[in-house]
Amino acid sequence: MSKYVYSFGGGTADGEGTMKDILGGKGAGLAEMSRTGVPVPPGFTISTEVCNIYFENDKKVPAEVDEEVDRALAKLEEQMGQKLGDPENLLLVSVRSGAKFSMPGMMDTILNLGLNDESVQGLVRKSGNERFAYDCYRRFIQMFGNVVMGIPKDEFEHVLEARKQKVRAKVDTDLTAADLKTVIADYKKVYKKKTGSDFPQDPHKQLEMARNAVFQSWWNPRASHYRKMNKIADNLGTAVNVQTMVFGNMGDDSATGVGFTRNPATGAKEFYGEYLVNAQGEDVVAGIRTPQPISTLKDLMPEAYEQLKDITARLEQHYRDVQDFEFTIQDRKLYMLQTRNGKRTGPAAVRIAVDMVEEGLISKEEAIMRVDPQQLDQLLHPVLEEKSKNSLKKIAAGLPASPGAAVGKIVFTADHAVEAAKSAPVILVRKETVPDDIHGMEVAKGILTSRGGMTSHAAVVARGMGTPCVAGAEAIKVDEHKRLLSVDGTVLKEGDWITLDGTAGTVYAGQAATVDADPSSGFLAKFMAWTDEFRGDFGVRANADIPRDARAARKFGAEGIGLCRTEHMFFGEGRIEHMQAMILAGDEKSRRQALKKLLPMQRSDFAGLFKEMDGYPVVIRTLDPPLHEFVPKREDLMVDIAKLPNATTQEKKALAERYGIEVRNLKTELPKLLHRVEELHEFNPMLGHRGCRLGITYPEITEMQARAIFEAVVQVAKKGVKVIPEVMIPLIGGVEEFVDQKAIVKRVAGEVLEKAGMTDQEYMIGTMIEIPRAALTADKVAQEAEFFSFGTNDLTQTAMGLSRDDYVKFSKDYEARKIFKADPFAVLDREGVGQLVEMGTNRGRSTRPDLEVGICGEHGGEPNSVEFCYQVGMNYVSCSPYRVPIARLAAAQAAVSAKSAGAKAEAMRTA
C-alpha cells in the first residue's frame, strides 16, 4: 500500500527512494532534525508524489490521501494535546512548500492556520496577549487571501497602511489590539469583495484549501521560471509541510530569523544571518522592518543564541555541508523550523569546498561534485561592484550571452570602436554584429546587441574573447546612423557611459566600478588542481585565434588550442583589403599575388600562437566561411552607387575610404565591385561555397595557408619552442574532399620542412566533422584523417535542419512547450546530434584505433555536453578561454561520476 504522509521523526521515507525525493528538502530536513533530538515543532509532510497526483487528477486529491492526512493530523493533535481550531485547546499550524531542490521564495507559505472569529478568542486567553492574537489573525487572513485565493497583497497592504496613517503608527508593531480588530474587519471586506464569499471559518477546510494552494504554487510563473533557469525538472513536484506554529511575535522575548553556518557570499567560516524581535518569518524577508545581524542576538538572548550556534554547527557536521536554517524563539525558547543545504555564490562554493576538505569533513571527490561548473563564471570574469551597480539606472535586460562586467563609452560601429578605444574603454552597441566587426569587437570591453541569441555571432565571438556580452536586448532601439540608443524614454548617444552585466544579461546607464578576477591563486587555484587530478587524460583545449587569447587560455589551464579560426585574422586593418583583392581577382595569377601579401601576416599570427602554446597542440582550421562575408553587403553597394552621382566631395571621400578605392575611380570600380558581390551571392551560404569547397575550387588559398602554418612552425621551432601543429580541413561531406585538401597540405608541408632540414617535425592532418554524411562515413574518412574534431555548432544546424540565427525567433515557444528540453545550440542534443557524434567516433576508430577525437563547438564549454563527450570516449573538448576552468571541472565531475557508477555496478555484480 502506498504511503503519502510522513510524521516528523516518526520514520523516514528510506527504502522507497531518497528522503528528499519523497519529502522534499524541507521535509527531509525536518524529519532528520526531529529524529536527532533538535527542537522542532511537530508536524507532518505530504509527499511530492501527491503534488503530481493532484495535477494528474484534475487538481483533486484522492480520498485515500485525505484520509491519511486526517490520521496524521489526529496524531499531531494527540501529540500536542490540542485540536486544530479548538478555542479551548487551540492548535495552529503553518503550511509550507518544500521541493527536492531548494527554490527559495518561489513557492508559497501560510502561517497561523486554524484561526477564525471564535478561535482567536481562545488564543487571547491562552497567550494572555490580545494584541499578539489579533496580529496573528490579520496575518493569516492576508496570507490565506493572497496565496489561496489570489488576492493581490497590495489590497491588504492598502488597508494596513491606511490604519497606520490614521493612528500615526510608524511600524506595524505600533498598532494596538483595537487597531488590529479594525484591520481584520476591513480585510474580511476585501476578501468578500474579491472572492464573493466570506472568509472560511472551518479550520479543516482552511487546511485543505491551503494544501492545494501550495501544490498550485509549483506552477506559478516565478517557480516555473526558476526551474527553467536552474534546470530543475518540472515533474518533481513539491511536498507540503504542516507544522505546529510557534510564535516569534509574542513580544520582546520572541524573535524569528534566518541564517547560514558559513557566509554564503564569500564562503568565510562565520555564523551568518539576520533576525527580528517580535516578528513572524515573512517580516524578515519582506523588508518591512530592517533585520538585525545575528551576532547581536548574543547580547539580547544569550542562551538561545548559544543553543542556535551549537545546533547549527552540529547540523553542518551531520550533513557535511553549509546549512541554510530558519528559527523562531518563543518566550526565549528556541525552535528550528528548517535546515537545508545553503545556496551560495561561485566564490563561496569554491572556498567552502576547499575548506571542508582541509577540515576533514569531505573528500576531494565530494568537493569537486559540490561546485556547479557554471558557478565558476563568477570567478573568471570581472564583476560589477554591487554598491556601484545599485546606484545606476537599469535600462534593459537581454540574454546573458557572455559573462562578466563591462563598463565603457558607447560606440555604434567597429571602426569607431577602434578609434575611440585608443583613449577610453568602449562598449560596442549594434543591432547585430557581423564577421567584419571583429576588429571593433576585439578592442571593445563589452558588446550589446538588440538582436540575436545565445549562439549568435556576437555571443559566440564574445565568449571566445572572454568579452562580456548582452545579446537580444529587444527593448533597445539602436539607430546606428544617428548614433543613438533609446529604451523606454531613456536616450543615450555615442560617447555616453554604459554598464553591462553579461552574467545577468542586464544593462545600466552610467559608469559602474568593477572588480577583477584572479584564477591563478588562492582557493580557486587549489580547487582547479584537484579537478585535474580526477579528469585524468581527458584534455581541455581552447578556441583561440590570436596570441592574446592563447595567453588567456593558458592562464586558465588550457592544454592546447582546439580551434584556431583563420578567417578572423583576415579582418584586421591592413589585411581586409588584400583579402578583398584576392576575392575580386579575375584569375589565379591575380589571386596568388593577393595571397602572397597575406602569407607573411598569417605566418606571423600562427607563430604567435605556437610560441604561446609551447609544447601543446595547436589545431588550425583552414578557411571556412563563404567569401561574401569578406566583401561589402550587396544592398549597401547598390544604395551607394545610386547616391554617387549627387554625392558631395566629402561624401565621395567617405565612400572612397569605406571601399578602399580612389575617389576618381569610384564611378567605374563600384559597379565592378557590385558585379563581383552579386556573383558571390548565395541563397543558402551556410550550405554553399565555403570550407573545403573553397579550397577545392581555389587550391591556392589552402596552399597559402599551409605554407604560412609550416613556415611559422620552422620559425618558432628553431627558437627552441616545441611546436605541435594539427591542420584541420573543415566542412567535408566525405573522404574524397578530405583527400583533395590533405594532398595540398602534405605537399606544402613537405616542401617547407625539407627546405628547413626539419623532416622529422611531427604534425597531423585531420578534419572537422560538421556534416551528417561525414559522421556516417567516418570509417572511410578515418583511413585518411589522423584526427576528428566535431564542429557541433554546424553539426546541430545540419542534423536538425535548424538555423542557429533564426532559431532564436521561436526558441521560447519550443522550450516552453518542452519540444526542446534546452536550446540545442547551448546544450548538445544527445538523442539526435549526439548519436552522430558517437557513431562518428566509433566508426572512425574502427579503422584507425588511435584516432584523436575532440569537439570544438560551443558545446565544448557546456557542462552537460562535456559529460557526454567524456562518456563517448573523446580525447578532449575545446571551448572559449574563459570557459576552460568550467570544462575542466565538468570533465572531472564526469570522471568521478563514471568511477562511482562503475563501483556500484561492480558491487551489484558481486552481491
Contact indicator for 176, 134 with CB cutoff of 8 Å = no
C-alpha cell at 182: 479594525
Hunting for cell 555564523 — which residue is that?
Answer: 271
Question: CB neighbours of 845 closer than 8 A, spacing ≥ 6?
Answer: 782, 851, 853, 873
Rg (the chain; Cα; Å): 33
Specify whether 856 is catalytic.
yes
What span, in angstroms and rounded, lies between the C-alpha atoms of 261 and 702?
61
Selected catalytic residue, list 136, 856, 869, 879: 856
Residue 433's CB is within 10 A of a number of other CB atoms, namely 26
C-alpha cell at 453: 541569441
Hunting for cell 560596442 — which residue is that?
Answer: 428
What span, in angstroms and rounded, lies between the C-alpha atoms of 569 and 564?
10
Q: Is 224 exposed, middle or buried (0-12, 13-18, 19+ CB in 10 A)?
A: middle
> Residue 808's beta-bridge partner residues?
none
C-alpha cell at 96: 509550507
Question: CB neighbours of 526 closer than 8 A, spacing ≥ 6?
Answer: 354
Contact indicator for 319, 341 with CB cutoff of 8 Å = yes
The closest alpha carbon to 704, from 536, 524, 535, 582, belongs to 582
The closest alpha carbon to 799, from 842, 770, 822, belongs to 770
CA atoms in the 13 A half-sphere facing the CB of 103: 33
The CA-atom distances, in angstroms, between 240 and each of 23, 45, 211, 255 are 8, 6, 7, 24
The closest alpha carbon to 304, from 270, 329, 278, 323, belongs to 329
Contact indicator for 358, 350 with CB cutoff of 8 Å = no
Contact indicator for 727, 766 with CB cutoff of 8 Å = yes
By residue count, the chain amounts to 911
Selected catalytic residue, list 381, 416, 439, 457: 457
The CA-atom distances, in angstroms, between 10 and each of 34, 244, 473, 482 are 8, 15, 52, 71
What span, in angstroms and rounded, lies between the C-alpha atoms of 738 and 765?
10
Hunting for cell 584569375 — which residue is that?
Answer: 587
- Measured between alpha carbons, how far apart are the two ends of the chain, in Å? 28
Helix (H) or strand (E) segment spanning residue 42: none
What span, in angstroms and rounded, lies between the C-alpha atoms of 824 and 803?
11
Classified as helix, coil or strand, 694 is helix
The closest alpha carbon to 134, from 156, 155, 145, 119, belongs to 119
Helix (H) or strand (E) segment spanning residue 865: helix 863-871
Catalytic residues: 457, 856
